[in-house]
Chain A
Amino acid sequence: MSWFGNLFKKETTSAHIAKDRLMIAIATDRQNSLIPNMDEMRAEIIRVLEKYICINDIEIKKENKGEVDLLEIEVIMKK
């Protein structure tokens, strides 16, 4: 194939589709598997919190703030 043909081929080959799909799938996977045994930890945190306060749900997020990795646990309380 000529270089001219290659120019148009690039965006639509199945390899490129695969890459785009993988980037999205992996980004989602990484978000969901921040910590091994996440579900267990989540359940345990909820158990502890429930001893002291009325809660609706918790949300766990991991963030990178320059030097440190930050684990954010948002507790949504019952009104």
Chain B
Amino acid sequence: MGIVFAVISGKGGVGKTTTSANLAIGTAIEGKKTVVVDFDIGQRNLDMILGLENRVVYDITNVMDGDATLSQALIKDKRQENLYFLAASQTKDKSVLDREKVKKLIDQLKEEFDYIFLDSPAGIEGGFEHTILYADNVIVVVNPEVSSIRDADRVIGLVDAKSHKAKEGERVGKFLVITRIDPDLIEKGEMISTEDILDILSINLLGKVPEDKRVIDASNTGKPVILHESSPAGEAYSRIAKRLCGIDVPFVDVESPEVRGFLQKITGLFK
């Protein structure tokens, strides 16, 4: 039986889709048969981030409505063995999601895959609820910035209230990924530190992803940063993916400018 991870956030634009894409690739690299599903119905984006936009024929609503089979709609990534993708519908809106249909789809995915990532829409409207409904774990993505942290607290509070698993008396795993950490700002005391975020949200840390200009380049070309060489963000995602696969990877200090500078010098030597 596969494990379902819902990737959620309170605020939009914090890197949910980037996180979903990179973690899915990362776990596929680790040998897990992985599928990543775009649950942001009406705002299809994950296909672009993964560079698979030209291969979408059927989408998630086609499968849920029975207009296509799951295997017809699943797109197999050519670069990465073990990685599959299911696109969101671009023409429908979130109202098409229905509990029973979502359950049926997720049950089907759990039979075929080891790891299932659901890329949730932002906030707490419509699709969010369906994404966490049948999740075993949620990955909360947050930026070190006040509105993002505040909204994250709100969604963390809603997870147990809305999750099927929590209602059955089981525990839903909740993990935090902090993205866009800027070491220079943290050093200057102008950015909230990881410890402070954990203090405020009281949730387990899964990973820290430093700010990395290559993330933009990655979305331009449809090749996620985890596939780039010597990308600090890509390396961070790779460490997180390994942790999700049960490998004990120590947390790396991505907050100190000195460490980063030192690493850049080392990688620079091999360029």
Contacts and interface: CB of A to CB of B under 8 A. Distances in A.
Contact of A15 (B157, B158, B162, B191): B191
B192 interface: yes
A26 B189 contact: no
Interface string A20-53: 0111011001100101100000000000000000
B189 A22 contact: no
Contacts of B157: 30, 33
Q: How large is the interface on B (under 10, 10 to 19, 20 to 34, 35 or more residues)?
A: 10 to 19
Contacts of B191: 15
B154 A19 contact: no
Given A30-B153, A30-B157, A35-B161, A15 B146 contact: no
Nearest to B201: A26
B189 A13 contact: yes
Given A30-B153, A33-B154, A15 B186 contact: yes
A21 B146 CA distance: 9
A19 B200 contact: yes
Contacts of B196: 15, 19
A36 B146 contact: no
Given A25-B150, A26-B150, A36 B158 contact: yes
Contacts of A10: 189
A18 B146 contact: yes
Nearest to A11: B189
A2 interface: no
B193 interface: yes
A64 interface: no
B53 interface: no
A13 B188 contact: yes
A65 B190 CA distance: 38
A33 B158 CA distance: 9
A32 B149 CA distance: 17
Contacts of B162: 36
Nearest to A33: B157
Contacts of A19: 192, 196, 199-200
A21 B158 CA distance: 22
B161 A22 contact: no
A26 B203 CA distance: 14
Contacts of A15: 186, 189-193, 196
Contacts of B188: 13
A61 interface: no
A10 B207 CA distance: 25
Interface in B44-85: none
Contacts of A33: 154, 157
A57 B189 CA distance: 46
Given A9-B189, A15-B186, A15-B193, A22 B146 contact: yes
24 contacts: A9-B189, A13-B188, A13-B189, A14-B189, A15-B190, A15-B192, A16-B189, A18-B146, A19-B199, A19-B200, A21-B146, A22-B146, A22-B150, A22-B192, A22-B200, A25-B150, A26-B150, A26-B153, A29-B150, A30-B157, A33-B154, A36-B158, A36-B161, A36-B162
